[in-house]
Amino acid sequence: MVDPEVEPVVDERRASGRPVLLTVDDDPAVSRAVARDLRRRYGQEYRVLRAESGADALTALRELALRGEPVAAVLADYRMPQMDGVELLEQAMDLFPTARRVLLTAYADTSAAIRAINDVDLDHYLLKPWNPPEEKLYPVLDALLESWRAIPARPADEVAVIGDRWSARSFAVRDFLARNEVPYRWLLAGQPEADRLLSASGHDAATTRLPVVLAPGPGPGGPQVLVDPDDTALADHVGLSTRPQREFYDLAIVGGGPAGLGAAVYGASEGLRTVLVEEHATGGQAGQSSRIENYLGFPDGLSGAQLADRARRQVAKFGAETLAARSVTGLESAGGAHVVRFADGSSVAAHTVLLATGVSYRTLEGPGLEEFTGRGIYYGAALSEVGACADEDVFVVGAANSAGQSAVNLARSARSVTLLVRGPSIEASMSAYLVEQIRALGNVAVRTCTEVVSARGDEDGEGHLRSIVLRDRQSGQEHEVPATHVFVFIGAAPRTAWLEGTLQRDAHGFVVAGPDLHLEDGRPPGWALERAPYHLETSVPGVFVAGDARADSVKRVASAVGEGAMAVMLVHRYLAQS
């Protein structure tokens, strides 16, 4: 039951609009102690509810969800009969996806708790007892609640996406919203509610081009109806910033992956007027990782989305601007200024520029493979599609860490996961900890010396993937296998085509910098300064590069963050000498 001495869920008179903290423990004495500590610290701002079983907790959460009341955090004991804490938190995530999830464990359960954190996207675990709470409980919850409050307060039904299940553009819209942490409702065209919303907005369900997004407008007047919007229009209407607030900056960062986010934090915290420009969503490829376990300082691992969320909040905390959904098409330099030009003709200017554009996954080549992109074939983790893979036979193409992390994540819900690898093994390109995890999973198979050569669709006209053709690279034999979901992680191509003719790149398109530049008399051709380029400086003075887009860089999150920080130090040096 839910404890009435704390605050009864069913008492409408007490529902003051305060967010809820729910604690769940089958030991009544422990449960009361947890609730007491929570009330003492957070009772003025939050409603504290207490349940003594997973079933009671889920009942309470469902009632809160029906009434539209916010839940900030759920703290669940690991060992409970019928439903343990991990199972409860997994189900709570479906009801309140943004609520912070904390597992309460005894010292003897630490190893099991760590494994659970790696297997489920938990936010933290706490050892019982935690006396004094001022040292061992409150600092953890303070940080988690701060991150929860930082999420824009948009009710999930404020944004609705109406589209076709197998439409590539519908998938792209959902993926954009998910990666930018914008809550939304997904409605299939033809469903009664979808048709009702379209009719109410003045659109004919039979003839309107999909997807349609119903979103809060930038001003009064009710929901705005966006028919097949581009990313910039979509970002504008869901509250993301797309336009610079200044005319000139000290530092403009192109790319919002770990290198760009690291540079934005260090630049803004050190007083530089900083703007970060991102085309898709901050976090880059790392932001799509289901679990990063080898990043320094996070022994229990964290998801790419968690890392990106924390970095975004740091960027905002220090006052750097972030521009979303802006496609960069050119870079011009004149005097002491650099101008970054956008696809819509607008621009942003700065004393210095950092190129942190990262890389994109290479695409599969062969009949049908391009046709079914976004309709069964997905590049990257495609987090908005993971839920559709439950009890399915899923394929992951690739042999590096991103592929391994995706395979482990998908294995939690898919019936089977087959890792397709061109080479003879995964050991040469994948971290040892991931290799061990994959070997321990009973529903993950690794097929080496195998490549995807073509894809075929259904025969009922819906236009989605039904099968792929695999080729054995040793024997040359081909055979067709049923497939509805294929996630591709094959190599990396730098996102630098827009820099053609502007600065030095290598044969693969990676930006060359510092001592790797082609030099004439100790300086790059056309270099106007007497000094040699700094370590991360490109062939254009004042333009730097960091992270995966740099030639011969180390493709790791930690090195990208480090290069972003180093670039800011070099920016200071450049500005001091200009």
Q: Specify the range with the lowest mean pLDDT, choosing from 244-258, 339-353, 381-395, 402-416.
A: 381-395
Does residue 441 contact residue 470 with C-beta atoms inside 8 Å? Answer: no
Q: Give the per-residue pLDDT at 323.
A: 97
CATH code, domain carrying 479: 3.50.50.60
Cα separation, 87 vs 103, whole angstroms: 11
127 and 19 inside one domain: yes
Cα separation, 149 vs 143, whole angstroms: 10
Task: Give backbone dihedrals phi and psi of 274, rounded to 5 degrees, phi first.
Answer: -120, 135
Token pair recorded at residue 343: 């696809």
159-164-166 Cα angle (round to 5): 125
Token pair recorded at residue 537: 């400086």
Neighbouring-strand partners of residue 330: 341
Residues sharing a CB contact under 8 Å with residue 355, sequence separation 6 or more, in sequence order: 254, 255, 496, 499, 511, 538, 543, 544, 545, 546, 549
- Domain of residue 506 covers 248-358+495-577
Kindly list the strands in the beta sheet with 47-51, ordered across the sheet, starting from the edge strand earlier in the chain.
47-51, 20-24, 71-77, 100-105, 124-127
In a domain, 541, yes or no: yes
pLDDT, tens digit (0-9, with 9 covering 90-100), for 478-494: 999 999 999 999 978 89
Q: Tally the residues of the chain.
A: 578
What is the pLDDT averaged over residues 160-182? 89
Alpha helices in 249-294 (DSSP H): 258-269
- The last residue of a domain, from among 237, 264, 281: 237
482 and 517 inside one domain: no
373 and 481 inside one domain: yes
pLDDT level of residue 553 (50, 70, 90 thresholds): very high
Q: Give the per-residue pLDDT at 180.
A: 87
In a domain, 45, yes or no: yes
* Axis-axis angle for helices 304-317, 138-150 (nearest 10): 80
Q: How far is CA 178 from CA 161, 184, 279, 282, 385, in A?
A: 12, 8, 15, 12, 10
The total domain count for the chain is 4
In a domain, 352, yes or no: yes
Q: Does 195 or 474 have the greater pLDDT score?
A: 474
- The last residue of a domain, from among 126, 150, 174: 150
* Axis-axis angle for helices 258-269, 557-577 (nearest 10): 40
232 and 196 inside one domain: yes
**Single-letter amino acid, residue 552:** D
354 and 499 inside one domain: yes
**Single-letter amino acid, residue 153:** A
Strands (E), 117-222: 124-127, 160-163, 185-188, 212-216
In a domain, 263, yes or no: yes
DSSP 302: B
20 and 136 inside one domain: yes
In a domain, 6, yes or no: no
39 and 134 inside one domain: yes
**Single-letter amino acid, residue 379:** Y
CATH code, domain carrying 25: 3.40.50.2300
In a domain, 5, yes or no: no
313 and 221 inside one domain: no
CATH code, domain carrying 165: 3.40.30.10
* Axis-axis angle for helices 304-317, 258-269 (nearest 10): 20
> What is the bridge-based pairing of β-strands 377-379 and 486-488?
parallel
Token pair recorded at residue 83: 């439903």
330 and 396 inside one domain: no
Q: Does 283 or 471 have the greater pLDDT score?
A: 471
16 and 145 inside one domain: yes
Q: Give the per-residue pLDDT at 66.
A: 66
Q: Give the per-residue pLDDT at 8.
A: 37
Q: Specify the range with the lowest mean pLDDT, choosing from 26-30, 442-446, 478-482, 539-543.
A: 26-30
473 and 545 inside one domain: no
Q: Give the per-residue pLDDT at 107.
A: 65
- The last residue of a domain, from among 93, 115, 150: 150
Share of residues in the chain with pLDDT > 70 (%): 91
Does residue 105 contact residue 126 with C-beta atoms inside 8 Å? Answer: yes
512 and 414 inside one domain: no
In a domain, 1, yes or no: no
In a domain, 3, yes or no: no
Q: How far is CA 176 from CA 183, 229, 324, 384, 412, in A?
A: 11, 12, 11, 9, 24
Closest CA to 89 of 71, 67, 70: 71
